[in-house]
Amino acid sequence: MLELKNISYRVGEKEILKNVSLVIDDRFVAITGPNGSGKSTLAKIIAGIVEPTEGQILFDGVDITNLSITERAKMGISFAFQQPVRFKGITVKDLISLAAGKNTNISEACNYLSEVGLCAKDYINREVDGSLSGGELKRIEIAMINARGTKLSVFDEPEAGIDLWSFNNLIKVFEKMYERTKGTILIISHQERILNIADKIIVVAGGEVVEYDDCKKVFPKLIDVQSGCRYTKNM
Amino acid sequence: MDKIQQNLLKEVAGLHEVPEGAYSLRINGKLHGKNSSENIEIVQKTDKPGIDIYVKAGTKKESLHIPVILSQTGLRELVYNDFHIGEDCDVTIVAGCGIHNGGSETSEHSGVHAFYLAKNARVKYVEKHYGQGDGNGKNIMNPTTYVELEEGAYLEMETAQIKGVDSTKRTTKAILGAKSTLIVSEKIMTHGEQFAETEFEVELNGEGAGTHVVSRSVARDKSRQRFVSRIKGNAECSGHTECDAIILDDATVAAVPEILAVHPDASLIHEAAIGKIAGEQLIKLMTLGLTEKEAEEEIINGFLR
């Protein structure tokens, strides 16, 4: 269980997040909201990449506010970057092995890659560098989180750059991940098909949580074709 | 061979014992053993230290090992090795030098290698430099390489100096004929107060000649590196030089690329990038559970692989 208590984050005079409090305990939770609303910052605060100006974070009842990225990762928090990082000389297999925390054998690594729609034999020894496309990198990023299999997996717009053909597979990946970890999957997304399968939806706008409820209650408000999204139409 | 020498041999040539096939093994300034094969002849020079190597035209899929081991402190040597590669060959040459300096005097090995590749010959040359020792004596290696490629010849040079060499100055000069190719891939890591300088000079003289000179290096502590590459296009040709360096601590790296086109159809590119490890790379690996130090090692090991 993840609990955020009165989290604020300011850069100079600008308030990126304002007093955010949340308890996240469901299987599948989606965060949505307009660009620049503070969603990615929130995810980075959970992973320990950004330090909040105020507030407290509890993970399974333990105060992790002052713990490093590494310590949080070891406790069971994973984070998939919106823009995956490139490395010179480090291969896909290296990253999968590091994610799994052991020297993964070829067949294990292949399973993780196949699940995200990559033909393992074409990718396993490729360097995670500029030779891979944005979509390929995104899939590898997801495969890494899958290999970690932690209690909390945070994804920052995993669908961005992934073609529609593989969209159903992406949702299957999340479902399988849940079956294996029985943990929480927290996804920042603008995609209605992802929002639609979430147990709960959090709407962030202007640095605040403006809605947090069951999918079936929040979703219709977001997808109101006549009037546009009520949270974003005035922004 | 004693244990120290065996270990050095393993480090520089990946060998556990004297290799099979053609080889020349030099230990502490003397030729320890050599063996010619049917197609590869090794002849000891009589006027100066070193060997001449003759590879018969048409020799395919053969390899030659020529490691050098120095385990006696204070030994300084200069060795000349000439490689004469016949037409249409396809061979691999594994060289390398390992120094163990347990004393307080300076040990130095300087090799002067000359490669003459005849028409359409193909050579892969792998060279590793390695130093170790618990004394205060310095390990110095100053290799000089001269390359001449005839029409259609192809030479791929992979050189690495990862550990324990206090000072090195590597000079490579190459002259390329028509449709010939020279690929250089250099890996260097310096630490402590080490100094490494590499200088490449490639002249593209024949139509269709091409070269890639790529250096990847890591400089740590207070070490210094200097990378100089000059490519001159005298014909319709293509040349590319790249220096990619990571600096840590108080290390300094200088990259000095120079490209000169004296023919209207010469196409030359240089790239150079020096900087510390990107913060986002460290963060990514830390989100996988690595400490910052472990992440740094992982990034460097990958970079120099």
What mean pLDDT do residues B79-92 have?
A: 96
Q: Which two tokens stand for residue A46?
A: 């959970």
Type of residue at B253: V
B165, B133 contact by CB (below 8 A):
no
* Residue A235 confidence (pLDDT) above 70: no
Lowest pLDDT segment from A35-39, A42-46, B10-14: B10-14
Question: Using the beta-carbon criterion (under 8 Å), do A69 and B278 form an inter-chain contact?
Answer: no
- Nearest Cα of chain B lies from the Cα of A143 at a distance, in angstroms, of 12
Residues of chain A with Cβ-Cβ distance to B293 below 8 Å are none
Q: What local confidence, expressed as pLDDT, does residue A167 receive?
A: 73
B287 and chain A in contact, CB less than 8 A = yes
What mean pLDDT do residues A105-111 have?
A: 84
A222, A194 contact by CB (below 8 A):
no
pLDDT in tens, A90-104: 999 999 999 998 777
Average pLDDT, chain A: 89
What mean pLDDT do residues A46-57 have?
A: 97
A156 and chain B in contact, CB less than 8 A = no
pLDDT confidence band for A224 (50 / 70 / 90): low
The share of chain B scoring above pLDDT 90, in percent, equals: 70
In chain A, beta strands by DSSP E: 2-11, 14-24, 28-32, 54-59, 62-63, 77-80, 152-156, 184-188, 200-205, 208-214
A75 and chain B in contact, CB less than 8 A = no
Which of B289, B303, B304 comes nearest A70 by C-beta?
B289
* Residue B242 confidence (pLDDT) above 90: yes
Average pLDDT, chain B: 92
What mean pLDDT do residues B277-302 have?
A: 96
- Chain B residue closest in CA terms to A91: B302
Residue with tokens 């993780």: A112
* Residue A226 confidence (pLDDT) above 80: no
Q: What local confidence, expressed as pLDDT, does residue B109 receive?
A: 84
What mean pLDDT do residues A42-50 have?
A: 97
| Nearest alpha carbon to residue B240 among B215, B262, B207 | B215
Residues of chain B with Cβ-Cβ distance to A95 below 8 Å are 288
Q: What local confidence, expressed as pLDDT, does residue B125 receive?
A: 95
Which CATH architecture describes the domain A1-38+47-76+152-161+184-235?
3-Layer(aba) Sandwich (3.40)
Lowest pLDDT segment from A216-230, B137-151, B239-253: A216-230
Q: What local confidence, expressed as pLDDT, does residue A230 receive?
A: 58
* Residue A84 confidence (pLDDT) above 60: yes
Lowest pLDDT segment from B92-101, B140-149, B185-194, B294-303: B92-101
Question: Using the beta-carbon criterion (under 8 Å), do A87 and B283 form an inter-chain contact?
Answer: no
In chain B, what are the domain boundaries? Answer: 1-154, 166-278
Strand B195-204 to strand B224-233: parallel, antiparallel, or no bridges (unpaired)?
Answer: parallel
* Residue B37 confidence (pLDDT) above 60: yes
* Residue B253 confidence (pLDDT) above 60: yes
What mean pLDDT do residues B195-215 have?
A: 96
Q: What local confidence, expressed as pLDDT, does residue B238 receive?
A: 98
The share of chain A scoring above pLDDT 90, in percent, equals: 64
B91, B117 contact by CB (below 8 A):
no
What mean pLDDT do residues B208-228 have?
A: 96
What mean pLDDT do residues B225-237 have?
A: 97
pLDDT confidence band for A232 (50 / 70 / 90): low
What mean pLDDT do residues B28-38 have?
A: 89
CB neighbour list of residue B123: distance below 8 Å, 6 or more residues apart: B83, B85, B89, B90, B91, B92, B93, B115, B117, B154, B155, B156
* Residue B195 confidence (pLDDT) above 90: yes
pLDDT confidence band for A146 (50 / 70 / 90): very high
The share of chain B scoring above pLDDT 70, in percent, equals: 100
What mean pLDDT do residues A31-36 have?
A: 93
What mean pLDDT do residues A156-160 have?
A: 88
- Nearest Cα of chain B lies from the Cα of A235 at a distance, in angstroms, of 31
A47 and chain B in contact, CB less than 8 A = yes
pLDDT confidence band for A225 (50 / 70 / 90): very low
* Residue B289 confidence (pLDDT) above 90: yes
Among A residues 184-223, those touching chain B with beta carbons less than 8 Å apart: none
What mean pLDDT do residues A206-231 have?
A: 78
- Chain B residue closest in CA terms to A86: B281
CB neighbour list of residue B124: distance below 8 Å, 6 or more residues apart: B91, B92, B93, B156, B158
Question: Using the beta-carbon criterion (under 8 Å), do A49 and B287 form an inter-chain contact?
Answer: yes
